[in-house]
Amino acid sequence: MDQKLVVNGGTGEPAVFKYRLLVPEEETGSAGKISTIASYRANLYIGTTTGQLLHYHHFEDAAEYMLISNLQLSDSSRVITKILILPNTERALVLIGSTASVYSLPELSPCHIGKLKDINDLSMLAYSAISNDSRSQKSVAVNDKIVAFTSSKIRIIQIDKDQIKLLKDINYSGAVSGISTASRMSSNYSNLVLVANPSNYDIIDLKMTRKIPLFDYTGNRTNVPPHMVSYDAMDKEGAEEYLLTIKNDENTSLAMFINSLGDVTRGTLTWIGEGYPVGGIVVRWPYVFGVFASSDHSNKLIVSSLESLQVLNVVSLEEIFYGRKSTKQVVDEIETELKGEETDNKQKEVKDIAQEENLTQQDIDKDNLLQQENQQEQESGEDTEQHRQEQPFSSDSINLTISEQSEIFVEKPSTESAQLLETIKDINISTVSDISVENQTVDGLLSKVNLMNGSRSSSIAKHFDIGNIILHDDSKVWILYSESVLIQLQDSFIFAMQEGTIKSFSEELEGIVDTYEGEIHQYILYMLVLSLIEIEDEQKILKYVLRLKNGHLVVDPLFIIYMLSDFKEIDTSHFDFSVYSGIREIMEQCKPSSSRRLLLLKYFDSVYPDLVQTNSQTQDIIRRAYYASFKSNEESIFFFQGKDKMNWSTFSHINSSIIDLWYSKGFIKTILQAYRSLKAADEEKEKEISEKLCTLVIQLLSQEKGDSDISTESLVADTLADIKANPPDPSLYTKYLIEILKVDKIRGFEFMKKNNKQQYRSVHKTIMDEISETYASESDFSLLKIEFLESTLRENKFKASLQDELAFEMAKLMSSSEFLVEEYRINFDILVQTYKIENSLTDSKWPKISWVDFLHLNSKSSECKDFVDIYLKVYELLLVSTDLKKSTPILSELISNDELFSYYKFVNPDDTTVRSLLDYSDFESAEFVAVHRKLPFPKFHFYIENDSRRFDIVAPSRIRDDLFTILKYYLKEITSDPLCIFAIRHFISSFGNSFFTPSEILSYLPDHIPIAYLMDYLTEVIIDLQAANREVQLRKSISKADATFTKSVYKNFANSFENGT
């Protein structure tokens, strides 16, 4: 579609122009040859040699111009030579032959307000709404003023919507063409006209009505069309200048440059050997485009520089427009081809053709000169239109002339030369008002691409290139326009990258970046930043990336982060980060980005947080990037506690993701800080944060995660301090302590002991349960657990299950090899033996002490006090428990096989218990069991304040049996040691009178027992007997008295009865 035309830049960069076919041949082919073109807004008007006026319109939603009307304005013999657009009145003056008619725009309806006749050329009277003199106010034009060039006058005419008014006539003979000049003047309208007569250029001062003669342009009165082109000299602050073409000789022409005062402004531009620009001249600063029909009748577009005054490019229009070679090229190739067998003949033929063409051209020039002379002699009149067609200065006349003589035939057509059979068409160049050409390439460059997911979004606005240079042949119209600066810069960037000239290109971008606005400016700024990154000019990078517009950063901070950081560190999956597609292309060409951490931090320091406050997404990603750029916990924590502190009041999504980032970087210390801060700040999510913090701490303690900046010791200390200061819920508390206990049981246990508040006791118990397996063999742990169980037991009013558990725990501890060391065994055994000795029957002291009470009394002096204490506690619990359950199952497994704990078996007495107790020398307990079937409650107790046990009634016979067993034991002992007599005395005194008859006692006792040891018993028995005797006597006396009394009463009653009856 669009083709490129690269113009050699001379001393500077090459300039790229593009051309595209605006109107294809098939639409104009039947309407004669194109003679003139004009444009107005989105309309294109094409006049033809057959009097037709084609109206094209460019609809917004269409890519191409569409033909919407074809008006036949005159008979087919008359040529439309000019279409002059009158923008203020929205009219068009259409010059057909020598008559100009008015049509309304844009639809070309005829306006019947009159016609202008005898016209050779028309031009707008230069108008400027901007005054150079600030003191004067210029009015806005409501009509259009034109300059009409006739054969005898220069006429200033005002065109209103409904009338035509002649303002001024100035005599001037033979004006064939002209332009109004000096629009930058003190008055609204120009006072100067640059006019060409058949031989000379002149300046006409309309105000002073005088002529300033310039020079001849015809090259000894040959027939060439004058070309007067105005342009703004950008090397002279935009001063208006004029290019005037001059024919020097058949092969050479030149252009002079003057200002509106007639002063020469620059040297001459020469086209040596190229002929004269018969196809027209157009200036697009700093280039001059001329279409030349050279001696070989091929059309050339010659591009020259106004700055260097050198020819830059010579382009074959045949080649670029039709894809075929120029005549000269074909001739050259044929010449080459013919070398060899038929060299001589063929060369001759071709040269003949070329010579013939040259001759023809010269002949025609001569003919035209004659026509011109004839025309000058003719008076203006009815046949002016016919004269116009004959004038050599009319562009269509020239075109026709050249067309007639440019048909070239080759007698022996080859594939190459067959093209010569086609008619060489004349091509003209001219300017029209601006035409917009959609530039999809720019649209593509400015479309956005998401760097994260690759999705693309189209540019919001379509972008158009503006062109006003039109080239046309007989039937086709092309537009030539500057390549978009964006595309040129895009290509230049890639080129500079490849050539290693990126530094100079970067300087060039610096020079132009501020000359553009809007999206283009932004795009170039991105390019500049990329180039600066490429050359590592950090100072300038910062300078440009910190540019603000309306208080906002122009360059997206995300782009900077992407370019300056190792972006892999940043999880941007939830960020919508897009850049221009063209910029993305350049980024791909750039060398792999190395992380410029320090530069990035400088950038962040500049933009964060003030410049990104309004954009939370940007703020978020900058924060992420900030943290991503840190290399240590210290840096992160410094930022976290400083500049970023305000953002850590909530456990937001971004904060969560930053924490994830820290995880990936191993900044656990920072995470701990963050969690602790968040826990205190975000009440709503305190639980969630606490859990996460707990999880992390646990992971650290269990070494599932690690951070060299965190020592286990400090972690434990900090965690315990945190727990104490901000107590978590029981569940987390438990988790913490269990893990802490695993790594630092001493501190853990110590903490639990110190933190033995009521609300934590059950928690501590849970903890104990959790870790009991782990610490089953660890006495410290068991002791701790026992301690907490005891507390719990007390709190729960000695709940039975807790009693069992505590007993079990203590029994477990006692049975553990770690706790029950040999030393304990020995010492305990010593206690047992001591007890047996001190509690021996040989000792006269009664009552004896029970084993349990003995232990308690002796534990303090024992070497196994800890063991004894637990032993006694277990005993106490067993007593209570057995009283409730009538069994002691919990200990069966732990202590059943260890003689050390054999005493515990007595807690649930059976028929052998008394005997066993006697063997254990615990006579006190044996006697108690004999009477109560239960062991006595210790006098010193740990848990139970009072003995609340229920004592069942024991059958006397059972009691007697057990007591008899005891007595027998005592009696047996007495045989070995007479001192045991005290036991007999004690027994008889205690139980003899209660459970036995004296005769039984006496029958059990051996005869040799001294009666003195039985005194107490006997005394008691006798007393009892005497008391019994007395009671009998009394009963008898009472009975007797009662009988006597009854007898007396009976007698009295009988007497009374008898007397009464």
Partner 1 sequence: MSGRKKTLLKVIILGDSGVGKTSLMQQFVNNKFSHQYKATIGADFLTKEISIDGNKQVTLQIWDTAGQERFQSLGVAFYRGADCCVLCYDVTNEKSLNNLTSWKDEFLVQSNVSNPQDFPFIIIGNKIDVDEAKKIPSLQKKLQNITNNQLGGLNYPVFETSAKDGINVEAAFEVIAKMALQQEELNDANGNDVSDDYNDAINIHLESESSGCAC
Q: Could you tell me the smallest distance in angstroms from the CB atom of residue 301 to partner 1?
A: 21
Which residue lies nearer to partner 1 by CB, 10 or 467?
A: 10
Tell me how crowded residue 13 is: count the other CB atoms within 10 A of its CB. 14
Task: State whether the Cα torsion 510-512-515-519 is positive or negative.
Answer: negative
Residue 1044 burial class via C-beta count within 10 angstroms: exposed 0-12, middle 13-18, buried 19 and up: exposed
Of 211, 547, 685, 742, which lies in the binding site for partner 1, with binding defined by CB under 8 A?
211
122 sits near partner 1 (criterion: CB under 8 A): no
**161-197 as b/e, with b when 16 or more CB fall inside 10 Å?**
beebeeeeebebebbbbbbbbbbbbeebbbbbbbbbb
Separation between Cα atoms, residue 803 and residue 811, nearest integer Å: 12
CA angle 943, 944, 947 (to 5 degrees): 155
437 sits near partner 1 (criterion: CB under 8 A): no
256 sits near partner 1 (criterion: CB under 8 A): yes
Which residue lies nearer to partner 1 by CB, 201 or 526?
A: 201
Q: Could you tell me the smallest distance in angstroms from the CB atom of residue 277 to partner 1?
A: 15
Applying CB under 8 A, the span of 134-142, 242-250, 534-542, 893-901 interacting with partner 1 comes to 242-250
Contact 430, 477 (CB under 8 A): no
Of 157, 449, 570, 1001, which lies in the binding site for partner 1, with binding defined by CB under 8 A?
157
770 sits near partner 1 (criterion: CB under 8 A): no
Which residue lies nearer to partner 1 by CB, 199 or 993?
A: 199
Contact 200, 213 (CB under 8 A): yes
Amino acid (1-letter code) at residue 14 = P
Nearest in space to 280 (alpha carbons), one of 426, 405, 124, 391: 426
Decide: helix, strand or coil at residue 555: coil
Residue 707 burial class via C-beta count within 10 angstroms: exposed 0-12, middle 13-18, buried 19 and up: middle
238 sits near partner 1 (criterion: CB under 8 A): no
Which residue lies nearer to partner 1 by CB, 128 or 158?
A: 158
Which residue lies nearer to partner 1 by CB, 168 or 960?
A: 168
Which residue lies nearer to partner 1 by CB, 268 or 759?
A: 268
941 sits near partner 1 (criterion: CB under 8 A): no
Applying CB under 8 A, the span of 244-252, 273-281, 316-324, 921-929 interacting with partner 1 comes to 244-252
Q: Could you tell me the smallest distance in angstroms from the CB atom of residue 116 to partner 1?
A: 6
Which residue lies nearer to partner 1 by CB, 178 or 936?
A: 178
Q: Could you tell me the smallest distance in angstroms from the CB atom of residue 113 to partner 1?
A: 8
Of 161, 168, 643, 825, which lies in the binding site for partner 1, with binding defined by CB under 8 A?
168
Q: Where are the alpha helices (DSSP H) in 280-342?
A: 317, 327-338
186 sits near partner 1 (criterion: CB under 8 A): no
The H-or-E segment that residue 205 falls in is: strand 200-205
Mask of contacts with partner 1, 1020-1049, x by CB under 8 A? Answer: ------------------------------
Which residue lies nearer to partner 1 by CB, 257 or 824?
A: 257
Which residue lies nearer to partner 1 by CB, 209 or 423?
A: 209
Residue 1050: HSE in the Cβ half-sphere, 13 Å Cα cutoff: 6
Of 166, 421, 1025, 1032, which lies in the binding site for partner 1, with binding defined by CB under 8 A?
166
1059 sits near partner 1 (criterion: CB under 8 A): no
Site residues (CB under 8 A) for partner 1, limited to 264-303: 264, 266-270, 272
The per-residue DSSP string of 826-840 comes to HHHHHHHHHHHHHT-
259 sits near partner 1 (criterion: CB under 8 A): yes
Q: Could you tell me the smallest distance in angstroms from the CB atom of residue 197 to partner 1?
A: 13
Separation between Cα atoms, residue 242 and residue 259, nearest integer Å: 6
Nearest in space to 653 (alpha carbons), one of 753, 543, 571, 562: 571
Q: Could you tell me the smallest distance in angstroms from the CB atom of residue 174 to partner 1?
A: 13
Radius of gyration of the chain (CA): 63
Count of residues in contact with partner 1, rule CB under 8 A: 49
Contact 36, 49 (CB under 8 A): no
Amino acid (1-letter code) at residue 438 = E
Applying CB under 8 A, the span of 211-219, 223-231, 610-618, 871-879 interacting with partner 1 comes to 211-219
Q: Which DSSP category does 54 fall into? A: E
230 sits near partner 1 (criterion: CB under 8 A): no
Residue 616 burial class via C-beta count within 10 angstroms: exposed 0-12, middle 13-18, buried 19 and up: exposed
874 sits near partner 1 (criterion: CB under 8 A): no
Which residue lies nearer to partner 1 by CB, 379 or 1058?
A: 379
Of 69, 163, 1048, 1056, which lies in the binding site for partner 1, with binding defined by CB under 8 A?
163
Residue with tokens 């009664």: 846
Nearest in space to 81 (alpha carbons), one of 109, 121, 123, 113: 121
For residue 318, give both structure tokens: 């045949």
167 sits near partner 1 (criterion: CB under 8 A): yes
Q: Could you tell me the smallest distance in angstroms from the CB atom of residue 274 to partner 1?
A: 12
Which residue lies nearer to partner 1 by CB, 269 or 513?
A: 269
Applying CB under 8 A, the span of 131-139, 254-262, 281-289, 801-809 interacting with partner 1 comes to 254-262
Of 2, 13, 90, 169, which lies in the binding site for partner 1, with binding defined by CB under 8 A?
169
Of 55, 153, 387, 665, which lies in the binding site for partner 1, with binding defined by CB under 8 A?
153
Applying CB under 8 A, the span of 121-129, 147-155, 221-229, 679-687 interacting with partner 1 comes to 147-155
Nearest in space to 856 (alpha carbons), one of 951, 946, 937, 950: 937
Of 15, 124, 170, 442, which lies in the binding site for partner 1, with binding defined by CB under 8 A?
170
Which residue lies nearer to partner 1 by CB, 158 or 815?
A: 158
> Residue 123 — φ and ψ, nearest 5°?
-150, 150
Which residue lies nearer to partner 1 by CB, 222 or 397?
A: 222
Which residue lies nearer to partner 1 by CB, 206 or 530?
A: 206
143 sits near partner 1 (criterion: CB under 8 A): no
At what angle are helices 730-743 and 745-754 packed, to 10 degrees? 140
Q: Could you tell me the smallest distance in angstroms from the CB atom of residue 297 to partner 1?
A: 24
246 sits near partner 1 (criterion: CB under 8 A): yes
Site residues (CB under 8 A) for partner 1, limited to 692-711: none
Which residue lies nearer to partner 1 by CB, 163 or 632?
A: 163
What strands lie across the sheet with 287-293, from one edge to the other? Answer: 280-284, 287-293, 299-305, 311-316
Which residue lies nearer to partner 1 by CB, 257 or 928?
A: 257
Nearest in space to 630 (alpha carbons), one of 651, 650, 600: 600
Separation between Cα atoms, residue 95 and residue 146, nearest integer Å: 13
Contact 14, 7 (CB under 8 A): yes
Which residue lies nearer to partner 1 by CB, 200 or 699?
A: 200
Which residue lies nearer to partner 1 by CB, 152 or 989?
A: 152
Applying CB under 8 A, the span of 246-254, 494-502, 963-971, 993-1001 interacting with partner 1 comes to 246-254
In DSSP terms, which residues pair with 472 in a beta bridge?
428, 477
Q: Where are the alpha helices (DSSP H) in 796-863?
A: 800-815, 822-838, 851-859
Q: Could you tell me the smallest distance in angstroms from the CB atom of residue 191 to partner 1?
A: 11
Residues 6 or more apart whose CB falls under 8 angstroms from that of 582 comprise: 444, 445, 446, 486, 490, 523
Site residues (CB under 8 A) for partner 1, limited to 303-342: 309
Note the residues at the interface with partner 1 (CB under 8 A): 114-117, 148, 153, 155, 157, 163-172, 204-205, 208-216, 220, 246, 248-249, 252, 254, 256, 258-259, 261-264, 266-270, 272, 309
